[in-house]
């Protein structure tokens, strides 16, 4: 899904669509819209389900633990006034961010909040939605 978002919906260098509320189109907004539509479609297909279930919030987690650990080490070196170590760690951090930016900024987990508990339960029951949505 991430590759599809980048390929089909993401414009680099700040050219992404801006919504009426001033928010830029982002992976979270894309996923929020996609999941809300899919849940509502699923509920209609199942017949009788309420369709006012929507995603209200999405927070991503990233595979950036290496950078976080380097930043912690850098902070400890600053506290200890070990500035030669600080310089070494800053170079490591910069190299890592420059050379592995795509992997560091790719979400690996999404924490999704629905407006109703029913939404969470329905989406868990409807895992077939996600098996067929890999190309979106």
Tokens of residue 80, six digits: 């200890």
Residue 60 CA, chain-centre distance (Å), reads 4
Model confidence at 135: pLDDT above 50: no
Count other C-beta atoms under 10 Å from residue 123's C-beta.
19
Closest to 108 in 3D by CA, of 18, 11, 27: 27
Non-local CB neighbours of 116 within 8 Å, separated by 6+ positions: 52, 53
pLDDT for 22: 54
Instruction: Summarize pLDDT for 94-112 with one digit per residue, the tens.
Output: 999 999 988 888 888 888 8
Residue bearing the bigger pLDDT, 50 or 120: 120
Instruction: Summarize pLDDT for 45-75 with one digit per residue, the tens.
Output: 776 555 677 788 888 899 999 999 999 999 9
Instruction: Judge contact between 100 and 106, C-beta under 8 A.
Output: no
Instruction: Judge contact between 113 and 58, C-beta under 8 A.
Output: yes
Residue bearing the bigger pLDDT, 113 or 95: 95
pLDDT for 12: 57
Instruction: Summarize pLDDT for 9-29 with one digit per residue, the tens.
Output: 665 555 555 555 555 567 777
Model confidence at 130: pLDDT above 90: no
pLDDT for 90: 97
pLDDT for 15: 52
31: left (phi over 0), alpha (psi -120 to 50) or beta: alpha
Closest to 26 in 3D by CA, of 38, 17, 34, 36: 17
Domain ranges of the chain: 1-62+115-136, 64-105
Q: Quote the percentage of the chain above a pLDDT of 70.
A: 68
């Amino acid at each position: 899904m991430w590759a599809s978002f980048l390929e089909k919906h993401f414009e680099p260098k700040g050219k992404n669509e801006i919504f009426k509320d001033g928010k830029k189109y982002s992976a979270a907004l894309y996923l929020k819209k996609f999941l809300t539509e899919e849940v509502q479609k699923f509920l209609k297909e199942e017949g009788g389900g309420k369709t006012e279930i929507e995603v209200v919030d999405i927070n991503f987690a990233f595979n950036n633990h290496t950078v976080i650990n380097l930043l912690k080490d850098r902070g400890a070196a600053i506290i200890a006034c070990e500035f030669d170590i600080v310089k070494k760690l800053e170079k490591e951090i910069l190299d890592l961010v420059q050379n592995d930016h795509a992997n560091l900024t790719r979400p690996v987990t999404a924490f999704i909040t629905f407006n109703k508990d029913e939404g969470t339960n329905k989406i868990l029951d409807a895992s077939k939605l996600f098996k067929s949505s890999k190309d979106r």
